[in-house]
Structure 1
């Protein structure tokens, strides 16, 4: 049974602590990428209903800095599913605690996750968009998937 895009969505919130940062109080990009990778993995795991690994990360963009004391929210959403791989769009938001908790995009990226069974890529259920937004994201994901395939295959 395919629960669709909504079932696979994943989200987490965290407060950034000194252990996440450099001496200037800026959160390390690698710490944020790790959080994003975890959310991408959870999103793909829910869809595949099994083990997944990160195969590729595209278009990581740092839009806004994140500092110690900031609260972040990280969201993952499937955009496209191939035979054994899934594309997950991940958005990391930073919340402005001084201005009514407004959120701004801090980072975005597309993760390609592969479903593995016994260390072999394994077929995943198709993704069936259920509304216009999901359809638009699916078409974007499909286009990106084909561009990558054409570039590296």
Structure 2
């Protein structure tokens, strides 16, 4: 019997305010700063899913899409959700939502991406539990994740 976990078990969310140290001289937050936050959240999702044993490293970042600029003073919320699991790899959808508190706006998606994280033990890829999608959204993301996983695997196995 293969160990399985619910997708929601590994979800991770972090919220923070953007400061001048995150931005350029015009007050726009550097894309690299936002990517670092996304990578950290993806790592937390992978670490939680792998049971906190060994290490989790970034193997791939797909489709990083910048949708809305983030400015100094904005509140961001970064959300990571497991979408698909291979043997040792985990595909994680990560989104950053931005909220401008000066006009009480609703959060809007600022960035979106898929991260592939690999679980390592002693530097060698190690297996992770499979996932059990529960909701319709989780099932749809699982199908998308499986398709992306197979496309990438076929692309680089040649």
Q: TM-score, normalised by structure 2?
A: 0.94
Q: In angstroms, what is the RMSD of aligned CA positions?
A: 1.0
Query: What do the CA deviations read for 1:55-98 (whole angstroms, capped 9, x no partner)?
Result: 00000000000000000000000000000000000000000213
SS of residue in 2 equivalent to 1:6: helix
Could you tell me how far 1:99 is from its partner in structure 2? 3.2
Structure 1 counterpart of 2:35: 33
* Aligned equivalent of 1:118, options 118, 122, 138: 122
Aligned counterparts of 2:137 and 2:79: Cα–Cα separation in 1: 16
* Residue matched to 2:74: 70
d(CA) in 2 for partners of 1:81 and 1:111?
Answer: 12
CA distance in 1, matches of 2:87, 2:11: 20
Q: Which moved more, 1:58-67 or 1:126-135?
A: 126-135
Q: Please list the CA deviations of residues 4-29 of structure 1 after superposition, one character each: whole Å capped at 9, or x if unmatched.
A: 11110000000000000011101000
Extract structure 1 runs of 4+ deviating beyond 4 A. Answer: none
CA distance in 1, matches of 2:113, 2:134: 23
Give ranges in structure 1 of 5+ residues lacking alignment: none
Question: Are positions 1:147 and 2:145 aligned together?
Answer: no
Q: Shift in Å at residue 119 of structure 1?
A: 0.4
Q: Distance in 1 between matches of 2:4 and 2:142?
A: 15
Question: Matched residues in 1 for 2:57 and 2:72: separation?
Answer: 29
**2-side partners of 1:70 and 1:54: how far apart?**
27
> 2 CA distance for matches of 1:150 and 1:2?
25
Per the alignment, residue 4 of structure 1 pairs with 6
Deviation at 1:130, TM superposition (A): 1.2
Q: What 5-or-longer segments of structure 2 have no aligned partner?
A: none
Contact 2:133 2:142 in 1 (8 A): yes
> 2 CA distance for matches of 1:131 and 1:66?
31
Residue 60 of structure 2: aligned partner: 56
Query: Paired residues, what number?
Result: 153
